[in-house]
Amino acid sequence: MTASWHLITGEYPPQGGGVADYTALLASALVAVGADVHVWAPPAPAGAPAGVANGVHVHRLPDPFGEGALRELTRGLDGTVGPRTLVVQYVPHAFGARGMNLRFCRWVQHRARTTRDDVRVMFHEPYYPFALWPLHRNILALVNRLMAVLLLSDSRIAYVSTRAWQRRLARYAPRARRFVWLPIPASIPFVQDAARVAAWRTRIAPQAGSRVVGHFGTYGALVSRLLEPVLALLLQQHADLLLCLIGPGSEAFTSRLCANNAGWRERITAAGRLSAPEVSACLQACDVVVQPYADGASGRRTTLMAALVNEVPVVTNPGPATEAEWTEQEAVAFAPRADPQAICATVWRVVEDDALRGRLAQGGASLYARRFAITHTVHALFAGQEAP
């Protein structure tokens, strides 16, 4: 009998978030190949209903994985017929208890030990880092590591969104634990709509011949710390350059960027939060996007994946999390160093070279199709049903 698939997640649409988008994308892809798919998630804002949506059985639990939710989850799983594959979409802080839900991790361990369920864990993030200050954060870091030990002890497969997580988690796992790299596919698909792209291009750059550099993200502190000086240098050094900033937080980021240079506002389009089709069109309206990351480009960066699948040339930086696959071909333009001057110089080199931009656009789309598309994720999940 074919196994039913049970995706256990701390967030699911209409809740926002990268894990929510990923879980919805994965559930739809599994349904598309004929799988019986169930999603178990905490209550959603505005009381999002449970039930079957687009072939996915969505179960809303009474609380964020507390005692009541775990009882209901146990009853629900035991009530399904036939073999079950459980895939926990794991981010420590997504399961309540202020990121320290040991009860949930013990439940996963117990499930793996006492049932015939095929229990697996997808580590989107492993644990909170230790820090010199504030000291109380180290309690969270320590508990997170204990949570990882519990999850790794009996789950059959540990999936990781980047190979860097495998290196961090291996020390807490049994020697025989099987790790599989499962990159995160783009949650923003390519939308072929020339009129919509042209409308965005006109809004961003009314004058023909202008050059547009974009960025797609949420403008969090880690990225903004590197992105802000890069964009400031570009605006200072190239008076005819325009910027397009896409994603929630872009308006506030623009205000910070222009705090001492009010004249820059006329050269920046802060697009804000957009629907997936609008993000696709807005990305395609850019000549190049700059996507710096503190730990380097990697398979867990959905903003980077969105640019690749939409055939937009990308400038980024390598780092400790960067996988070898990124250097297979001319898929992205890597700055030689992760500093503003080097990234700025690389962006301008790409902006000025039409042929290079064409190669990057095609190379990025090709790498995405070969390595990162959701079809590879589904194949890896079904391959995991075979004996290691």
Answer whether residue 319 shows pLDDT above 90. Answer: yes
pLDDT value of position 327: 85
Answer whether residue 385 shows pLDDT above 90. Answer: no
Domains parsed from the chain with CATH numbers? 4-184+374-383 (3.40.50.2000), 194-372 (3.40.50.2000)
Cα 2 to Cα 44: distance, rounded to the nearest angstrom: 30
Answer whether residue 1 shows pLDDT above 70. Answer: no
Cα 358 to Cα 195: distance, rounded to the nearest angstrom: 21
Answer whether residue 86 shows pLDDT above 70. Answer: yes
At which residue do the structure tokens 């050059």 appear? 211
pLDDT band at 47 (very low <50, low <70, confident <90, very high): low
pLDDT tens, position by position, 14-35: 998 999 999 999 999 999 999 9
Mean pLDDT of the chain: 95
pLDDT band at 388 (very low <50, low <70, confident <90, very high): very low
Spatial contact of 369 and 185, defined as CB atoms under 8 Å apart: no
Answer whether residue 229 shows pLDDT above 80. Answer: yes
Residue 256: φ, ψ to 5°:
-65, -40
Task: Name the residue with higher pLDDT: 388 or 194.
Answer: 194
Cα 164 to Cα 386: distance, rounded to the nearest angstrom: 25
Q: How far is CA 215 from CA 1, 52, 108, 218, 312, in A?
A: 47, 36, 39, 10, 11
pLDDT band at 387 (very low <50, low <70, confident <90, very high): very low
- Give rounded-to-5 percent helix, strand, coil for the chain: 45, 15, 35
Please state the rounded mean pLDDT for residues 133-153: 95
At which residue do the structure tokens 């960067």 appear? 322
Smallest CA-to-CA distance from 27 within 73, 85, 104 is with 85
pLDDT value of position 20: 95
Please state the rounded mean pLDDT for residues 337-358: 95
Sign of CA pseudo-dihedral 141, 142, 147, 150? positive
pLDDT band at 132 (very low <50, low <70, confident <90, very high): confident
Please state the rounded mean pLDDT for residues 223-244: 96
Q: Rounded to an integer, what is the distance from CA 336 to the centroid of its chain?
A: 24
Please state the rounded mean pLDDT for residues 42-66: 89
Cα 233 to Cα 51: distance, rounded to the nearest angstrom: 51
Smallest CA-to-CA distance from 138 within 185, 99, 109, 106 is with 99
Answer whether residue 355 shows pLDDT above 90. Answer: yes
Spatial contact of 8 and 70, defined as CB atoms under 8 Å apart: no
pTM of the model: 0.93
Cα 211 to Cα 244: distance, rounded to the nearest angstrom: 10
Task: Name the residue with higher pLDDT: 263 or 388.
Answer: 263
Answer whether residue 377 shows pLDDT above 60. Answer: yes
Answer whether residue 261 shows pLDDT above 80. Answer: yes
Please state the rounded mean pLDDT for residues 114-123: 96
Answer whether residue 67 shows pLDDT above 50. Answer: yes
Inter-axis angle of helices 302-309 and 276-284, nearest 10: 60
